[in-house]
Amino acid sequence: MARAQPILASLSVCVLLLGCATIRNDPVNVAGTPDTLANRLDLGFQEDAVEHDVVIGLSFSGGGTRAAAFSYGVLAEMDRIPVRGARGPMLDHLGFISGVSGGAVTAAYYGLKKKAGLADFREKFLLKNAEENLQTDISLATLPRAMAGGINDSTGFPRWLDANLFHGANFGQFRAEGRPRVWINASDIYNRTPFVFGATAFRAMCSDLSEYPLADAVAASAAVPVAFAPVVIKTYPGRCNNPLPSWVVKARDNPNSPPMLNAFAKAISRYHDGSMPFIKLLDGGLVDNYGLSGFTITRLSSATPYEPLTPGQAVKLRRGLFLVVDAKSGTTGNWINTVEGPSGFELFRAAADTAVDASVAGSYTAFERVMSDWHSALVKWRCGLSAAERARYGAGPKWNCRDIKFFIGRVGFDQLDPERAERLNRVPTRFNLPREQVDDVIEAGRDSLRANPAFKTFAASL
């Protein structure tokens, strides 16, 4: 009994602390109107999304500043590599980016600032301490907040991102900037599906996407469980009369539709019918750490063989490069050397890393299948065009309906020499890294791109 008293006392203290800890994450999204919900800024590529006959798509993985620096290195290197037979560098042909967590920071900033963002992103974000106003360690002092929902609420990180990077930008400004199209991906932890910040979800919940702050979307994409409380989105059922898109109903009600699309459609339906007053979002890496969901769902839900391109773009297209920029780290921890462990926060981290790594293989395989199906659909559609349609869409006299190739690959640390890869794998998943590590990862992004087999084959085919 004497030994039990200290334990009971500790539990009592924890209960008291938990009783005092409250986390408030008030939603910042607003209800829409018929005019704002009819906004088409988020739909499809801009008309100039395909320059000449080439389009490039990039997907930036999660991994804190490490992922942001690696994806930045890839972008910077693309800006140095010319395209054979065309003016300008590879970066001029970037049609879309999909980002998650740390990769979402780079994706959003480049989407907002375009090439100008390459000049100052290192100084404005990569070399700064984005954790300066956050608590990132579990201790006796932070445990009550961790148990109450998250050590940090959903205000601190968005505030920092807005002050240092986005300066009040919302999705209305973001989408108006044109090419490339950018998807920011988070995780809907109730429906266990990707949450893509786009028109489909916001129209279903009768909310105005154009007014949503870009910094809050990026923060939701990077909201690691326990370290951050969920970002909350409010639904406004009954505020609008928008019916669900036909593809949502079809995918929701068809048990044989692709599992990712079926689950996403069911989530969209719940946003729309009032059964989910609040949507809770955490790090997008929980369901897709490669950040491929945005494009995959867009293509799976397309009503035509050419979407998300326009017919004219689909006719012009000859070469497409689609790369996953993968900055995930390797295995860590020394608890494999003992009978004990992992325990405490280390156990939580090991479980989360296992779930994240298990999801990436599935998302990449699904993406490859979707791209293969899209290629086949494009060839069939192009070859079925009449002479009048070919002329209307801009096909030249020597145009070949079958002359279209996709190159798909992954750019990762493991594709560098083993010693260098091991050093990069030891870079922690944080939003505060020393200058030497930041520059090391940036240079790795440059070198990994040039060495990537898919990229080299694509460049040689132009």
* Residues recognised as catalytic: 101, 283
DSSP 287-315: HHTT--HHHHHHHHT-SSSSTTS-HHHHH
The amino acid that residue 193 corresponds to is: T
How many other β-carbons are positioned within 10 Å of the β-carbon of residue 143? Answer: 16
d(C-alpha 294, C-alpha 111), whole Å: 15
Strand partners, 31: 207
d(C-alpha 160, C-alpha 138), whole Å: 21
How many other β-carbons are positioned within 10 Å of the β-carbon of residue 14? Answer: 14
How many other β-carbons are positioned within 10 Å of the β-carbon of residue 145? Answer: 22
DSSP-assigned letter for residue 83: P
For residue 6, what are its two tokens? 């200290």
Name all contacts of 446-450 with Cβ < 8 Å and 24+ positions apart. Answer: 446/73, 446/74, 446/76, 446/77, 447/416, 448/70, 448/73, 448/74, 448/411, 448/412, 448/413, 448/415, 448/416, 449/73, 449/74, 449/77, 449/78, 449/323, 449/411, 450/77, 450/81
Whether the upstream peptide bond of residue 311 has omega within 30° of 0, thus cis, is: no
Question: In 327-457, where do the E strands start and end?
Answer: 405-412
Q: Kindly give, in sequence order, each residue whose CB lies less than 8 Å from that of residue 440, ignoring residues fewer than 6 positions away.
A: 423, 424, 427
- The count of residues in the chain is 462
Taking CA atoms, 267 is separated from 51, 187, 234, 261, 301, in Å, by 35, 11, 14, 10, 14
Phi and psi angles of residue 114, each rounded to the nearest 5 degrees, phi first: 60, -145
- Give first-to-last CA distance, the chain, whole Å: 78
d(C-alpha 195, C-alpha 7), whole Å: 42
DSSP 207-258: B-GGGSBHHHHHHHHT--BTTBPPEEEE--TTS--PPPPHHHHHHHH-TTS-
